[in-house]
Amino acid sequence: MSNRKLIILGIITICMIAWAIVQTHIANKPRTEAEKSASLIQGLDPANIDSIVLGTGENEVTLKRNGSRFVVTNKDNYPAEPDGINSLIASCLDIKVDEIFTDNPSNHKDLGVTEEDAKYVVKFLKQGSGLMVGVTVGKGRDYGQGAFVRMIPGNKVYVTPERPLIEDQAMDYIDRELVSVDREDIESVTVSSSGETYTLKAKDDGEGIILENQPPDMKLKDGDCESVFTALNNLSFEDVMKAPATGRGLTFNRQFVCRLKDSTVYTMKIAQKDDKVFVTCQADFTDKTPVTKEEGIVESEDDLKKKEAKLLARDKAEEFSSRHGNWIYEISQSGAAHLTKKLSELFEDEKNKATEKE
C-alpha cells in the first residue's frame, strides 16, 4: 500500500474517532427540563368536564358545571369565578413529571399519594359522574422542590421537578368583592338602627362631609365620618349562603343606604348573630324617567353621553340586584363596624376638646 493511501486511511480513522467522541458527549449530556419532563395529565378536554372534585371527606369541594359556567355546590350553588376554574385546570395540566418512582401500591401511603393522605386531590368528572382523570399530590421529596404525584386511576407514582400548588377551598373559587363605590360618586349615606337614624352628605364642593341636622355645638370626627361615608368602597365578604334568612336565626334590624349622584341607591340590611355579621343587599335606580329619542331632533354629543351614562347606571343596578338579591353574605367585623357606627361615635369627645383647649 502506498504512503498516500496510508495517509488517507489515517485521516479517515481520526475523523471517525472524533465523531464517536462527539456522539458519546451528546449522549451523556444532561437533558434540559423540557426534554426530560412530560405532562402528567394528557388529552384532557376541558369542554367535557361536568364537575371537579377537590379533596375528600368533610373537606371535599365540588365545582359543578351549570350552563356556560361552574357553581360551588358547597355554597348553595353560588357562581364560581371563571378565572379560578381556568387557573385550576391549567395548574393540573401544567404538572410535569421526571420519572417513575414506584408502581407498588404498598408504597402509596408512605409517599402521601393515597386519597386519604394526599396534600391535594383533584378529580375531573364527566357527565354522569364518571371519572375522566384525577391526580393526588403527596409528600415533598427530601431534597429540592419536587413532590410525589399519582394519577387516578393508576398505581404509578412520579416525581415532579416543582411542587404543585392547588387552591382547594370553596371560597377560593368565589369573587369575594360585594360592592365597590368610588368616593366622588357618593351623594349621601344613611345609617339606621332601632334607636336612631342619621345621614351624612358630601359637601357641595366635594371636599369634606356634613351631618344632616348637626347640633351647632358638636364637632364631627372627620376620620370616622369618612370611614362611614366610604363603607361600600371595596366591601368584601367572608362567606355566603342562600336567602331567605328563615330558620337561620337572623334578624336584619339595621340598615345602611348609600345614594349616588347618578340616582343609584344601594341598600344593605344588617343582622348580627353571636360574633358574626350578615348582610343582604340590593340596588335600585331611582330615576324612572324613560330614555327616549325624538325623531327629527339632532341631539348634542353631551346629551347623548348623559343618556348613555343613565342607561349604563340603570343596567348596573339591575345586574347587581339580580346577582346579589337572593343571597346572605357574612362580612368581617371591621367592615361591619363602618356600616353600623353609632351617631355618638362620630362626635369629638367633650373631655378631649377641653384638654385640647387647655
Assess if residue 352 is contained within a domain.
Answer: yes
Which pLDDT score, from 0 to 100, does residue 354 have? 45
Q: In degrees, to the nearest 5, what angle opens at C-alpha 238 toward C-alphas 235 and 244?
A: 95
Which pLDDT score, from 0 to 100, does residue 43 have? 85
Total count of domains within the chain: 2
Which pLDDT score, from 0 to 100, does residue 195 have? 85
Choose the final residue of a domain: 173, 203, 231. 173
Contacts 24+ apart (CB under 8 A), 184-189: 185/260, 185/261, 185/262, 186/229, 186/230, 186/258, 186/259, 186/260, 186/261, 187/259, 187/260, 187/261, 188/212, 188/258, 188/259, 189/228, 189/229, 189/231, 189/256, 189/257, 189/258, 189/259
Contact predicate 212/202, CB 8 Å: no
Domain range holding 235?
177-357
Assess if residue 320 is contained within a domain.
Answer: yes
Which pLDDT score, from 0 to 100, does residue 10 have? 56
Q: 310 and 194 in one domain?
A: yes
Choose the final residue of a domain: 156, 173, 190. 173
For residues 63 and 49, what is the distance between their CA atoms, to the nearest angstrom? 10
Choose the final residue of a domain: 173, 205, 234. 173
Q: 337 and 211 in one domain?
A: yes
Q: 121 and 104 in one domain?
A: yes
Assess if residue 254 is contained within a domain.
Answer: yes
Nearest C-alpha neighbor of 154 from the set 12, 41, 7, 269: 41
Which pLDDT score, from 0 to 100, does residue 14 have? 55
For residues 285 and 299, what is the distance between their CA atoms, to the nearest angstrom? 24
Assess if residue 24 is contained within a domain.
Answer: no
Contact predicate 225/218, CB 8 Å: no
Q: 183 and 64 in one domain?
A: no
Bond into 153 cis (ω within 30): yes
Assess if residue 11 is contained within a domain.
Answer: no
Q: 274 and 340 in one domain?
A: yes
Q: 138 and 238 in one domain?
A: no
Lookup: cell for 237: 365578604
Q: 119 and 102 in one domain?
A: yes
Neighbour count for residue 312 (Cβ, 10 Å): 11
Contact predicate 307/297, CB 8 Å: no
Q: 347 and 203 in one domain?
A: yes
Assess if residue 255 is contained within a domain.
Answer: yes
Helix ranges (DSSP H) in the chain? 3-28, 33-36, 82-93, 108-111, 222-229, 301-324, 333-339, 350-357
Which pLDDT score, from 0 to 100, does residue 13 have? 56
Assess if residue 9 is contained within a domain.
Answer: no
Q: Is 336 helix (H, G, I), strand (E, B) or coil?
A: helix
Which pLDDT score, from 0 to 100, does residue 306 have? 87
Q: 220 and 164 in one domain?
A: no
Q: 333 and 185 in one domain?
A: yes
Q: 155 and 140 in one domain?
A: yes
Q: List average pLDDT for each run of 10 residues in the chain, which is 358 residues long.
A: 52 53 43 60 92 94 95 96 96 91 95 95 94 95 83 94 93 96 95 93 85 88 94 96 84 96 97 95 94 73 87 96 96 94 86 46
Contact predicate 269/196, CB 8 Å: no
Say which amino acid occupies 134.
G
Q: 324 and 336 in one domain?
A: yes
Lookup: cell for 74: 358547597
Assess if residue 302 is contained within a domain.
Answer: yes
